[in-house]
C-alpha cells in the first residue's frame, strides 16, 4: 500500500486513490489536472537531431493473413468472392515509399512445400520430429509468387519472416523454454534448427526469379523467440541462426553490379546496394523493453551479431494488452503524457543495450511490429480516432530517439481492431456495417453465404498518409511548454518545416506561441484532424471510426463513376489540402480540443534542413 501511495504521488495523483482509478470526485492521474490553455513552442533551427529514411513509416501484413481469401494478392476487386486487390492498391499507393514486413507468430509454424527435392514429402501431415502439426500451415510456390507479385505491383520493398523453429519443438502457449539458459557459450544449449526449409525457399527464388523477387530487401528468422529460446544461451542461439542465414544469402543470392554507384537502383529502404537481402532480428516480444532479463537477452543478441546483421528489430505495444483497455479511462491511457512516454522510453531502453560502435557503424534499429496494444487491440478503441494519439506520438518519439523504420501492425485486418484498413461486411441495418469474420486459408468455409464487403480506411490510415506526405527525413528538436500539447518537428517534404501536434485536452483548445523563425513567415498550412461521429455506445467522443480534416466531412474513399459501396471500381483518395493561414509577425496558432495533426511552413528555410531535398532522392 505504501508503494502504491508513493507511485501515485510521483504521478501527481491523490494518494487516497488506488489502482489508478477515480475515487469519488478525486482524480487519480497526473493528466486529470487542467492543462494550460497556452503553449510556447521552441525549435532548434540549426542542428538536426536525427535522420530517418523515406520508408520510416512502413507497415506489416500478419503472416496469419496474407494467404487469406478476404483480399486478393493478384490485384482484383470482386465483391462476390470477397476479394479486394485493386482497391487496396490505391490505398497502398498513398503510403509509398514503404517497406512491407510479412511476419508474425504464424510464421514459426509455416512449412514451405514443393520448393525443392530436399524437402519433398515434407508438409503439415509429414513433419520431421520433434515438430508437430500444431498450427501448421503450408506455403506453396504459387502463394509465394503471389506475395512477391503483390510487392512488385505496389512497388513495395519486402521483408519476409522465415520460420525460426523448423526442426525444433513447436512454440506453445504459454511458451515453454527450450534452452539450458545457463549453458556456457559454445555449448549446444538449445534444440538445433534445420536450415533445409529456408534454403529450399531461397534457392527456388533465386533460380526462378519470379516477378518481385528483387523487391526482397530482408529476411527475418523467427518471431518473438526470446521466451522459447530463453536466457543468454537462447539469445546466442538466435544470433547464430541469423548469422548462418546471412552466410547462406551471401553464398546464394546474386550480387547486382552497381558500377561503382552505391545507390544505383537500390530499393527504397534497402540496406545493401548490391541487391542481396539483409538479415534482420531478433523481433523480441513487446515485454522485452520492460524487463531487465529480456533487455539483457536483446543485448546479448546485439553483441553476438555485431557488425554482421542488417537491422536490429524489436516489437512494441506500449499501451499493454488490448482486451484490458477501458473506454471509460482513455484519459489515463491514450491521452496521458506518462503513458505516451512509454513508447520512447521502451525504445531508449533497448538502444542502451547496444555495444559501442563508431559513428555510422551501428545497424539501423527497426520497430519491426508495433501497434498501441497487443492481442488485436480492442474494438471501439484501437480502431478509432483516439488511437491516433498513440500513433502520431510514437512516430514522433521513435524518430527522435533513433529508430529508423516503424512498421505499423497491421495494414489490413479482418475481424481485428488495430489495422490501418478494415474490411467490413455490409449490413442493411447500419451504414457502418460490421467487421468481417476472421480470415482463413484457402476457400471460404463450406456453406458460407457470399457477402458484399467494403474496404474502410480507418482514422490512422489518413494520419499515416498525411505524415508520409508532409514529414521529411531530417528530425528537429522542438519542445512545448505544456504537457497537454505534444509536438514533433521534421523538415517538410519538398521544402519548409512540418510540426506534428497532439492536443491531449479533449475539452479545451490550446493557443500556440510560435518561435520567431516560424511566426515571421507570411503563411502556414494547417492539417487539423478531429474525430467524426462517435461509434454507437461510445464512452468518449474520440471513439469514432471517422476523421475530419479542417472541419470538413469525414474522409472516405471516392468511388469511380458507376461504383458501389462494396465495389468501388477504381476509387481515389479525397483531396487532402491544407488550410492556408496568413500570419502576422506576432501571430500564433490555435488547435481545437482533442485534435491532432500537422502545421507546415513551406517558406521556412532553416540551416538544419539544408540536406532535406538530397535525402528525398535516396
What is the rounded distance in angstroms from the CA atom of residue 340 to the CA atom of residue 596? 14
What is the rounded distance in angstroms from the CA atom of residue 565 to the CA atom of residue 425? 11
**CATH architecture for segment(s) 38-50+474-616:** Sandwich (2.60)
The tens digit of pLDDT for each residue in 341-365 reads: 999 999 999 999 999 987 778 899 9
The tens digit of pLDDT for each residue in 63-104 reads: 998 987 777 787 777 766 667 788 889 999 999 999 999 999
Q: Is the pLDDT of residue 505 over 60?
A: yes
Q: For residue 428, what is its C-alpha cell?
A: 442493411
Average pLDDT over residues 440-460: 54
Strand partners, 367: 314, 406
DSSP string across 117-137? GGGTT-BTTB--TT---TT-E
**What percent of the chain has a predicted confidence (pLDDT) above 90?**
74
18-48 in b/e form (b: 16+ CB < 10 A) is: eeeebeeeebbbbbbeebeeebbbebbbeeb
pLDDT, mean over the chain: 87
What is the rounded distance in angstroms from the CA atom of residue 424 to the CA atom of residue 433? 6
Helix 292-304 vs helix 231-252: angle between axes, to the nearest 10 degrees?
30
H/E stretch holding 2: helix 2-10
Question: Which residue blocks in 402-515 are alpha helix, DSSP H?
Answer: 459-470
Count CB-CB contacts under 10 A for residue 487. 20
Q: Is the pLDDT of residue 503 over 90?
A: yes
DSSP designation for 601: E
pLDDT at 430: 40
Q: Is there a contact between 597 and 576 (Cβ–Cβ < 8 Å)? A: no
Q: Taking Cα atoms as reference points, which of 365, 330, 411 lies closest to residue 63?
A: 411
Q: Is the pLDDT of residue 375 over 70?
A: yes
pLDDT-based confidence at residue 2 (cuts at 50, 70, 90): very low
The tens digit of pLDDT for each residue in 455-494 reads: 889 999 999 999 999 999 999 999 999 999 999 999 999 9
Helix 387-401 vs helix 337-351: angle between axes, to the nearest 10 degrees?
30
Average pLDDT over residues 101-127: 96
Higher pLDDT, 77 or 523: 523
pLDDT-based confidence at residue 40 (cuts at 50, 70, 90): very high
Count CB-CB contacts under 10 A for residue 571. 18
Query: Which position has the grid cell 545457463?
Result: 182
Q: Is the pLDDT of residue 21 over 90?
A: no
List all residues 6 or more positions away from 52 whose beta carbon is below 8 Å from its beta carbon.
Answer: 399, 403, 404, 405, 473, 475
Average pLDDT over residues 180-185: 81
pLDDT-based confidence at residue 426 (cuts at 50, 70, 90): low
Q: Is there a contact between 244 and 305 (Cβ–Cβ < 8 Å)? A: no
pLDDT at 76: 76
Q: Taking Cα atoms as reference points, which of 205, 208, 181, 178 lies closest to residue 192?
A: 178
Q: For residue 135, what is its C-alpha cell?
A: 498450427
pLDDT-based confidence at residue 181 (cuts at 50, 70, 90): confident
pLDDT at 560: 72
Q: Is the pLDDT of residue 448 over 70?
A: no
Q: Is there a contact between 313 and 292 (Cβ–Cβ < 8 Å)? A: no
Residue 328 burial by CB count (10 A; 0-12/13-18/19+): exposed, middle or buried?
A: exposed
Q: How far is CA 156 from CA 35, 58, 311, 466, in A?
A: 42, 10, 18, 19
What is the rounded distance in angstroms from the CA atom of residue 367 to the CA atom of residue 3? 33
pLDDT at 442: 26
The tens digit of pLDDT for each residue in 327-347 reads: 999 999 999 999 999 999 999
The CA-based angle 283-109-290, given to 5 degrees, is 30
Q: Is the pLDDT of residue 58 over 60?
A: yes
Q: Is there a contact between 435 and 546 (Cβ–Cβ < 8 Å)? A: no
The CA-based angle 491-494-499, given to 5 degrees, is 35
pLDDT-based confidence at residue 446 (cuts at 50, 70, 90): very low
Q: Is the pLDDT of residue 381 over 80?
A: yes
User: Is this structure's pTM higher than 0.85?
Assistant: yes
pLDDT at 427: 53
283-314 in b/e form (b: 16+ CB < 10 A) is: bbbbbbbbeeebbebbbbbbebbbeebbbbbb
pLDDT at 265: 59
The tens digit of pLDDT for each residue in 278-301 reads: 999 999 998 899 999 999 999 999
Count CB-CB contacts under 10 A for residue 124. 17
Higher pLDDT, 431 or 64: 64
Long-range contacts of 325-331 (CB under 8 A, 24+ apart): 325/373, 325/377, 325/378, 325/381, 325/382, 327/380, 327/381, 327/538, 327/539, 327/540, 327/543, 328/539, 328/540, 329/21, 330/381, 330/386, 330/539, 330/540, 330/542, 330/543, 331/29, 331/31, 331/32, 331/506
Q: Where in the chain are the domains? A: 1-33, 38-50+474-616, 99-314
Average pLDDT over residues 113-129: 95
User: At 393, phi and psi to the nearest 5?
Assistant: -70, -40
List all residues 6 or more positions away from 516 whose beta carbon is below 8 Å from its beta carbon.
Answer: none
What is the rounded distance in angstroms from the CA atom of residue 511 to the CA atom of residue 485? 10
Residue 507 burial by CB count (10 A; 0-12/13-18/19+): exposed, middle or buried?
A: exposed
What is the rounded distance in angstroms from the CA atom of residue 550 to the CA atom of residue 573? 16
pLDDT-based confidence at residue 540 (cuts at 50, 70, 90): very high
217-233 in b/e form (b: 16+ CB < 10 A) is: bbbbbbbbbbbbbbbbb
Q: Is the pLDDT of residue 277 over 70?
A: yes
pLDDT-based confidence at residue 563 (cuts at 50, 70, 90): low
Q: How far is CA 135 from CA 108, 165, 383, in A?
A: 9, 13, 27
Q: Taking Cα atoms as reference points, which of 164, 169, 243 lies closest to residue 198?
A: 164
Q: For residue 332, what is its C-alpha cell?
A: 489515463
Q: How far is CA 489 from CA 125, 239, 337, 480, 499, in A?
A: 54, 36, 18, 11, 4
In sign, the C-alpha dihedral spanning 201, 173, 346, 20 is positive
Residue 538 burial by CB count (10 A; 0-12/13-18/19+): exposed, middle or buried?
A: middle
Average pLDDT over residues 423-445: 42
CB half-sphere exposure, 477, CA atoms < 13 A = 6
Question: Which residue blocks in 449-515 are alpha helix, DSSP H?
Answer: 459-470
Amino acid at each position: 500500500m505504501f508503494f502504491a501511495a508513493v507511485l501515485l504521488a510521483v504521478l501527481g495523483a491523490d494518494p487516497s486513490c488506488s489502482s489508478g482509478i477515480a475515487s469519488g470526485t478525486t482524480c487519480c492521474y497526473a493528466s486529470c489536472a487542467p492543462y494550460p490553455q497556452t503553449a510556447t513552442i521552441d525549435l532548434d533551427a540549426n542542428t538536426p537531431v536525427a535522420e530517418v529514411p523515406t520508408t520510416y513509416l512502413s507497415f506489416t501484413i500478419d503472416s496469419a493473413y496474407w494467404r487469406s481469401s478476404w483480399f486478393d494478392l493478384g490485384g482484383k476487386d470482386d465483391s462476390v468472392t470477397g476479394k479486394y486487390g485493386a482497391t487496396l492498391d490505391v490505398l497502398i499507393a498513398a503510403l509509398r515509399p514503404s517497406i512491407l514486413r510479412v511476419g508474425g507468430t504464424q510464421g514459426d509454424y509455416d512449412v514451405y512445400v514443393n520448393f525443392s527435392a530436399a524437402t519433398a514429402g515434407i508438409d503439415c501431415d509429414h513433419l520431421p520430429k520433434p515438430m508437430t502439426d500444431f498450427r501448421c500451415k503450408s506455403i506453396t510456390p504459387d502463394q509465394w509468387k503471389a506475395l512477391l507479385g503483390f510487392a512488385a505491383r505496389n512497388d513495395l520493398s519486402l521483408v519476409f519472416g522465415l520460420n525460426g523453429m523448423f526442426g525444433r519443438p513447436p512454440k506453445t502457449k504459454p511458451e515453454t523454454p527450450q534452452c539450458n539458459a545457463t549453458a556456457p557459450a559454445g555449448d549446444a544449449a538449445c534444440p538445433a534448427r534445420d536450415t533445409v526449409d529456408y534454403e529450399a525457399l531461397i534457392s527456388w527464388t533465386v533460380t526462378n526469379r519470379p516477378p518481385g523477387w528483387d523487391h526482397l530487401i530482408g529476411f527475418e528468422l523467427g518471431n518473438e523467440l526470446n521466451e522459447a529460446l530463453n536466457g543468454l544461451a537462447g539469445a546466442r542461439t538466435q544470433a547464430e541462426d541469423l548469422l548462418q542465414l546471412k552466410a547462406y544469402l551471401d553464398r546464394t543470392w546474386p550480387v547486382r553490379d552497381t558500377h561503382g554507384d552505391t545507390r544505383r537502383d537500390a530499393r527504397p529502404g534497402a540496406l545493401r546496394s548490391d541487391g542481396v537481402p539483409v538479415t534482420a532480428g531478433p523481433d523480441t516480444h513487446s515485454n522485452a523493453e520492460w524487463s531487465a532479463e529480456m533487455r539483457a537477452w536483446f543485448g546479448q543478441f546485439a553483441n553476438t551479431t555485431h557488425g554482421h546483421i542488417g537491422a536490429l528489430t524489436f516489437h512494441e505495444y506500449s499501451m499493454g494488452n488490448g482486451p484490458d483497455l477501458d473506454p471509460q479511462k482513455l484519459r489515463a491511457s491514450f491521452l496521458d503524457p506518462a503513458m505516451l512516454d512509454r513508447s520512447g522510453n521502451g525504445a531508449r531502453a533497448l538502444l542502451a543495450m547496444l555495444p559501442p560502435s563508431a559513428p555510422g557503424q551501428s545497424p539501423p534499429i527497426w520497430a519491426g511490429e508495433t501497434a498501441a496494444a497487443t492481442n488485436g487491440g480492442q474494438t471501439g478503441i484501437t480502431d478509432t480516432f483516439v488511437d491516433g494519439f498513440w500513433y502520431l506520438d510514437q512516430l514522433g518519439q521513435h524518430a527522435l530517439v533513433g529508430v529508423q523504420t516503424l512498421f505499423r501492425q497491421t495494414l489490413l485486418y479482418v475481424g481485428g481492431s488495430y489495422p490501418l484498413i478494415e474490411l467490413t461486411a455490409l449490413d442493411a441495418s447500419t451504414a457502418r456495417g460490421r467487421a468481417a469474420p476472421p480470415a482463413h486459408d484457402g476457400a471460404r468455409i463450406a456453406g458460407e453465404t457470399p457477402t458484399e464487403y467494403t474496404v474502410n480506411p480507418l482514422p490512422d490510415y489518413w494520419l499515416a498518409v498525411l505524415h508520409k506526405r508532409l514529414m521529411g527525413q531530417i528530425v528537429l528538436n522542438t519542445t512545448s511548454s505544456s504537457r497537454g500539447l505534444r509536438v514533433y518537428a521534421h523538415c517538410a517534404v519538398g521544402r519548409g518545416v512540418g510540426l506534428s501536434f497532439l492536443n491531449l485536452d479533449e475539452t479545451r483548445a490550446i493557443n500556440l506561441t510560435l518561435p520567431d523563425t516560424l511566426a515571421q513567415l507570411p503563411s502556414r498550412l494547417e492539417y487539423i484532424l478531429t474525430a467524426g461521429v462517435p461509434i454507437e455506445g461510445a464512452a468518449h467522443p474520440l471513439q469514432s471510426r471517422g476523421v475530419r480534416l479542417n472541419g470538413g466531412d469525414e474522409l472516405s474513399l471516392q468511388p469511380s463513376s458507376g461504383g458501389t459501396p462494396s465495389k468501388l471500381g477504381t476509387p481515389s483518395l479525397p483531396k487532402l489540402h491544407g488550410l492556408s493561414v496568413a500570419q502576422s509577425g506576432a501571430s500564433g496558432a490555435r488547435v481545437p480540443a482533442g485534435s491532432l495533426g500537422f502545421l507546415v511552413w513551406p517558406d521556412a528555410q532553416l540551416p538544419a534542413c539544408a540536406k532535406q531535398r538530397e535525402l528525398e532522392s535516396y
